[in-house]
């Protein structure tokens, strides 16, 4: 017995990486729109830039994305052709509330997603909706300082209420924040944080994270109240840390890295702050404001399932001299593994290990909502991409996932591969780092017709779904 009969196979995207049309139908500007391609990208992601600027000198890939806003019908038809049972997408907050702090939602924004969900339903595709995927209206950053401000909880609740009511019966699966732990690594993308000179950055990050946690619990409450059929999940960037050597110091380091990475999920899944994190705040002198009321909300509204992205495992070592580049997570190079062109260490067995870790720790159903290989694809003279490297990566990961289900008894609801259609990379802002089964004619400089074509992996994944993961 492999995957259950109603296993949700599909693919994943995020609004800011594919929609484009950033100033259409009343949409406001968001943090992700002002992240340029190129050398200035990192300070902006990390929140260390001096000004929050939107200058014309830089190329901002989100402006056009892959023009999913205008082409989603064509794209969903292709997903249906592959046999998708689910499609993960995110809602651009600033389409629904252009500034973020309004009380009346923008009808055109609401309508856009409603039409998209109906299009999915036409093919029997279940939408899986990320409420915010690295996405925060610029106005909320300029006016309130992003998630460092507790008022954000209220604005987020307005968003959730509007979409929960409007999409009742159309959407059942919801994720509150994409990769919530990313806040600790990329605070501008994760929480709209721009640091001020001399402030305690760690304290700001954890305070913002706390506000997101409370907002996530409130969202869970609202979604359950509006429709008891709704299933609400948290979402994290997962990937276990191994000890570099079996010496206790390295093992201890890997234990610390693992729980550090899981800390926010511990709270969303269990409903309270773990002691190790409270002790860390104490030892580092971090003053995080957590009210009694917040504690009650966290406790009362834990998530129904755990979703996560998995791309790579990581390595921890007591002496950290050999850090790998490429990935936003610090990791020592693993001498036993190959890596992608961007240094992400390829580890299918690590996927099985991570699935087991999460299942053992939380005993809640899991949903893999991102996995895949970012690679440079070169179309042949007929425009065809024979992406055997991607097929190989995914086949080995799907096999490992099957082992976790079949041999280890992990409860798993579904799998959506990342970037099922080529889109803009979150980490680099490039088009050249592609993940899709569907090729999009668009390059880093913004050239190309945006035409879609099927890669070799398109046919391969179609067969994987048709055989419910048996034939990979």
Residue 174's H or E segment, with its range, is: strand 173-177
| Residue 374 within binding range of ligand BGP, rule CB under 6 A | yes
CA angle 450, 456, 458 (to 5 degrees): 70
What pairing do the DSSP bridges indicate for beta strands 86-90 and 8-12? parallel
182 versus 303: smaller Cβ distance to ligand BGP: 182
**Binding-site member from 3, 9, 14, 75 for ligand BGP (CB under 6 A):** 14
Token reading at 328: 């936003």
Q: What minimum distance in Å lies between the beta carbon of 369 and ligand BGP?
A: 9
Phi first, then psi, for residue 180 (nearest 5°) are -60, -30
Q: What minimum distance in Å lies between the beta carbon of 184 and ligand BGP?
A: 13
162 versus 431: smaller Cβ distance to ligand BGP: 431
**Per-residue x/- mask for ligand BGP, residues 202 to 231, rule CB under 6 A?**
------------------------------
Q: What minimum distance in Å lies between the beta carbon of 324 and ligand BGP?
A: 15
Q: Please say whether the dihedral angle defined by the alpha carbons of residues 356, 360, 363 and 364, taken in this order, is positive or negative.
A: negative
| Residue 90 within binding range of ligand BGP, rule CB under 6 A | no
Phi first, then psi, for residue 52 (nearest 5°) are -95, 95
| Residue 179 within binding range of ligand BGP, rule CB under 6 A | yes
Cα 464 to the chain's mean position, in Å?
Answer: 23
Q: Three-state DSSP class for 239? A: coil
**Per-residue x/- mask for ligand BGP, residues 390 to 429, rule CB under 6 A?**
----------------------------x------xxxx-
336-365 binders of ligand BGP (CB under 6 A): none
CA distance 119 to 198: 50
| Residue 19 within binding range of ligand BGP, rule CB under 6 A | no
Please count the residues of the chain.
472
| Residue 148 within binding range of ligand BGP, rule CB under 6 A | no
Count residues near ligand BGP (CB under 6 A).
Answer: 14
CA distance 95 to 103: 14
309 versus 334: smaller Cβ distance to ligand BGP: 309
106 versus 416: smaller Cβ distance to ligand BGP: 416
- The answer to whether residue 293 is catalytic is no
341 versus 360: smaller Cβ distance to ligand BGP: 341
Cα 63 to the chain's mean position, in Å?
Answer: 20
Q: What minimum distance in Å lies between the beta carbon of 426 and ligand BGP?
A: 3
CA distance 117 to 124: 10
- Cβ-closest residue to ligand BGP? 427
Of the residues 19, 126, 257, 370, which is catalytic?
A: 370
Phi first, then psi, for residue 288 (nearest 5°) are -105, 125
Q: What minimum distance in Å lies between the beta carbon of 60 and ligand BGP?
A: 15
Phi first, then psi, for residue 328 (nearest 5°) are -70, -25
- The residue whose two tokens read 């389409």 is 95
- The residue whose two tokens read 């400089």 is 445
Residue 307 exposure: Cα atoms within 13 Å on the Cβ side: 32
Q: What minimum distance in Å lies between the beta carbon of 65 and ligand BGP?
A: 12
- The residue whose two tokens read 């067969």 is 463
**Binding-site member from 237, 312, 385, 404 for ligand BGP (CB under 6 A):** 237
| Residue 178 within binding range of ligand BGP, rule CB under 6 A | yes
14 versus 404: smaller Cβ distance to ligand BGP: 14
> In terms of C-beta density within 10 A (0-12 exposed, 13-18 middle, 19 or more buried), how is residue 92 classed?
buried
Q: What minimum distance in Å lies between the beta carbon of 352 and ligand BGP?
A: 20
Question: What residue ranges bind ligand BGP (CB under 6 A)?
Answer: 14, 17, 178-179, 237, 309, 370, 374, 418, 425-428, 433
Active site residues: 370
């Amino acid at each position: 017995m492999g995957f259950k009969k109603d296993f949700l196979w599909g693919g994943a995207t995020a609004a800011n990486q594919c929609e484009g049309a950033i100033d259409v139908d009343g949409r406001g500007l968001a943090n992700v729109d002002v992240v340029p391609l190129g050398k200035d990208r990192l300070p902006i992601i990390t929140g260390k830039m001096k000004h929050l600027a939107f200058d014309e000198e830089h190329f901002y890939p989100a402006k056009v994305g892959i023009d999913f806003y205008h082409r989603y019908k064509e794209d969903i038809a292709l997903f249906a052709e592959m046999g998708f049972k689910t499609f993960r997408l995110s809602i651009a907050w600033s389409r629904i509330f252009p500034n973020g702090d309004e009380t009346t939602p923008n009808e055109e924004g609401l309508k856009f997603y409603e039409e998209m969900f109906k299009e999915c339903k036409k093919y029997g595709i279940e939408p899986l909706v990320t409420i915010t995927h690295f996405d925060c209206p610029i106005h909320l950053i300029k006016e309130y300082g992003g998630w460092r401000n507790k008022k954000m909880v209220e604005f987020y609740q307005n968003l959730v209420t509007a979409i929960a009511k409007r999409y009742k019966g159309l959407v059942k699966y919801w994720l509150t924040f994409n990769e919530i732990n990313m806040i600790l690594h990329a605070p501008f993308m994760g929480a709209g944080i721009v640091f001020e000179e001399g402030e305690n950055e760690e304290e700001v990050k954890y305070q913002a994270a706390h506000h997101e946690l409370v907002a996530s619990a409130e969202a869970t409450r609202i979604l359950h109240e509006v429709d008891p059929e709704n299933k609400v999940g948290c979402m994290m960037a997962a990937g276990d840390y191994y000890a570099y050597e079996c010496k206790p110091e390295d093992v201890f380091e890997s234990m610390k890295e693992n729980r550090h990475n899981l800390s926010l999920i511990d709270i969303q899944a269990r409903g309270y702050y773990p002691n190790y994190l409270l002790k860390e705040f104490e030892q580092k002198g971090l003053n995080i404001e957590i009210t009694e009321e917040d504690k009650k909300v966290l406790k009362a509204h834990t998530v129904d399932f755990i979703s996560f992205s998995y791309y790579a495992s990581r390595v921890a070592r007591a002496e950290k001299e050999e850090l790998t580049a490429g990935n936003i997570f610090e990791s020592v190079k693993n001498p036993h593994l190959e890596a992608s062109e961007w240094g992400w260490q390829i580890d299918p067995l690590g996927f099985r290990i991570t699935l087991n870790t999460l299942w053992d720790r939380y005993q809640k159903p899991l949903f893999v909502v991102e996995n895949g290989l970012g690679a440079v694809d070169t179309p042949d003279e007929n425009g065809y991409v024979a992406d055997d490297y991607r097929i190989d990566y995914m086949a080995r990961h799907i096999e490992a996932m099957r082992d976790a289900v079949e041999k280890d008894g992990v409860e798993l609801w579904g799998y959506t591969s990342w970037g099922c259609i080529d889109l803009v990379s979150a980490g680099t802002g490039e088009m050249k780092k592609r993940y899709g089964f569907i090729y999009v004619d668009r390059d880093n400089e913004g050239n190309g017709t945006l035409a879609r074509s099927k890669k070799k992996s398109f046919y391969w994944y179609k067969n994987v779904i048709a055989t419910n993961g048996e034939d990979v």
